[in-house]
Amino acid sequence: MRTRHFSRRTEEAYVGWVRRYVRFHGLRHPAELGEPEVSRFLSHLAVAGGVSASTQNQALSALLFLYRDVLAAPVGWVDGVVRAKKPRRVPVVLSRPEVHAVLRGMSGTPRLVATLLYASGLRLLECLTLRVKDVDFAGRAITVRAGKGNKDRVTMLAEAVAPALAMYLERVQRLHARDLASGGGAAPLPDAFARKYPGAATDWRWQFVFPATRRYREQTGVWRRHHLDESVVQRAVAAAVRRSGITKRATCHTFRHSFATHLLEDGYDIRTVQELLGHEDVSTTMIYTHVLNRGGRAVRSPADVR
């Protein structure tokens, strides 16, 4: 998986599914198993586990990778699988006043992160793994590196966020200077980049925009500072939503949904929104068009006709 540049999350998910598959079949080696066993395991997930269609598909992808790329014994078409139902759902979207109400209930770094999620349409992990070099203040642009599907994309840096982000980065730069003075200041680097450019780890440009509050020491003795943990922002958003009195089930990802929906409401074409979100297929972006057909916009309720 490393040679194919899979993300760490995909690695963890695939390894987890292989473990569950092996345990489900009584700790037998996967080489002794085949298509019938894969089918039984996937059906068990849907029937007894009640998993979603996307979860079942992820398990199937993990097992296909195991047999095709690890054991070099690819399985054929897996027949007889009880498929998990794929419900059609519309995303939770906050109105503009609701977005601002939630943001007003936040403070500090979590508020700045949440503001960027809405202002730039970023996923939470995309935002937290931004490097200083990825923020272009002059061009008012943010470059997302190795986003979902290991794809890069460019999105906007809103005028309303730029001053606050610039002031925040000044504080981060002072923190980095203190780290360097104390013998630290190294950031984790992707793939083999650290071997090719040994000095990049301590370079200001490669530091995380949102660093963690604590450093950690590797077995090699090097002190590093990772990015802020996702749970810090997730808890802050959840608390702000509760305090705002909003009854919608809003999360960090809701800001991204709201970003896309509000752009469409403002008349931007769906292809533009697709590129900003980084969707491979425009049909994924089409889920946000539901707001254009809500009652009071395209259809008038008979109860409102006098």
The set of catalytic residues is: 123, 148, 253, 256, 279, 288
Tell me if 39 sits within 8 A of 81, measured CB to CB: yes
Q: Which residues contact 72 (CB under 8 A, 6 or more apart)?
A: none
Say what the alpha-carbon torsion angle 14, 18, 21, 23 is, to the nearest 10 degrees: -130
Structure tokens at 272: 């533009």
Q: What is the SS3 assignment for 85?
A: coil
Beta strands in 150-226 (DSSP E): 153-156, 216-217, 223-224
CB 278 within 8 A of CB 153: yes
Inter-axis angle of helices 108-120 and 252-265, nearest 10: 40
CB 240 within 8 A of CB 106: yes
Phi-psi category of 245—alpha, beta or left, where left has phi over 0 and alpha has psi -120 to 50? left
DSSP strand pairing (141-144 vs 135-136): antiparallel
CA 53/CA 280 separation, integer angstroms: 20
Angle between helices 270-277 and 252-265 (to 10 degrees): 160
Q: Phi and psi (nearest 5°) for 139?
A: -90, 0
Give which of 241, 9, 3, 288 is closest to 125, Cα–Cα: 9
